[in-house]
Amino acid sequence: MGGTFDPIHHGHLVAASEVASKFDLDEVVFVPTGEPWQKSKSTVSAAEHRYLMTVIATASNPRFTVSRVDIDRPGPTYTKDTLRDLRRLRPEADLYFITGADAMAQIVGWKDVDELWELAHFVGVTRPGHELHDLGRTDVSLLEVPAMAISSTDCRARVAVAEPVWYLVPDGVVQYIAKYGLYRGKGRPSDDGDGHAQDENGEAGSTAAAVR
């Protein structure tokens, strides 16, 4: 599963666990975005902070791993580049691309989308109350995940005004945020579409992958 993970929260972890169970996946690879193509570098936390928070959050689950392919690749992050890299690293694996169901509706209209279908099976996850629409493709699956109601945008906003994020994000991530003073004094961040179309599950941010 991929995204900016700024910060990673329980919604991401529950979604990854649900998809892994549903599709009997051996592994879920979390891929923190390097440089989101649609954002300036100043609007997201440093890649190393986001990478380390993801490592902390996933450490207790042996099925979860974290990849640096997007962080270590120079330039903006694009879904096709991430999937190409993962395919090169795991040529025999069946790859699953995990993204938001609302973003999935945008993905089917992307230019040159056929290459993406060849690289991975796509899984769109959504929160309760969000209507799931059949996209008319047998290589796309849709799955409702209750914890997707949690948002990184809201977590950052709460930290910025000194409100707690305990139980929204893993304990170790709460401590990491406090140790490095992340998100403080920035006011309420603009909505980055976390878990939706533009950030965690968009062209740049949602390079999610799982392996079977």
- Between the two ends of the chain, the Cα-to-Cα distance in Å is 14
Mean per-residue pLDDT of the chain: 84
Classify residue 166 by its DSSP letter: B
Residue-wise pLDDT tens digits, 144-198? 887 778 889 999 999 999 999 999 999 999 999 999 999 997 544 443 434 333 3
pTM: 0.84
Residues 6 or more apart in contact with residue 46 via CB below 8 angstroms:
none
Q: Residue ranges per domain, the chain?
A: 2-211
Q: Which residue is listed with tokens 């380390």?
A: 52
Provide the pLDDT for residue 134.
65
DSSP 132: P
C-alpha to C-alpha distance for 104 and 7, rounded to whole angstroms: 22
Q: What is the pLDDT of residues 199-208, one digit of tens each?
A: 333 333 344 5
Query: What pairing do the DSSP bridges indicate for beta strands 27-32 and 209-211?
Result: antiparallel
Range 2-211: architecture per CATH: 3-Layer(aba) Sandwich (3.40)
Q: Tell me which amino acid residue 166 is.
A: W
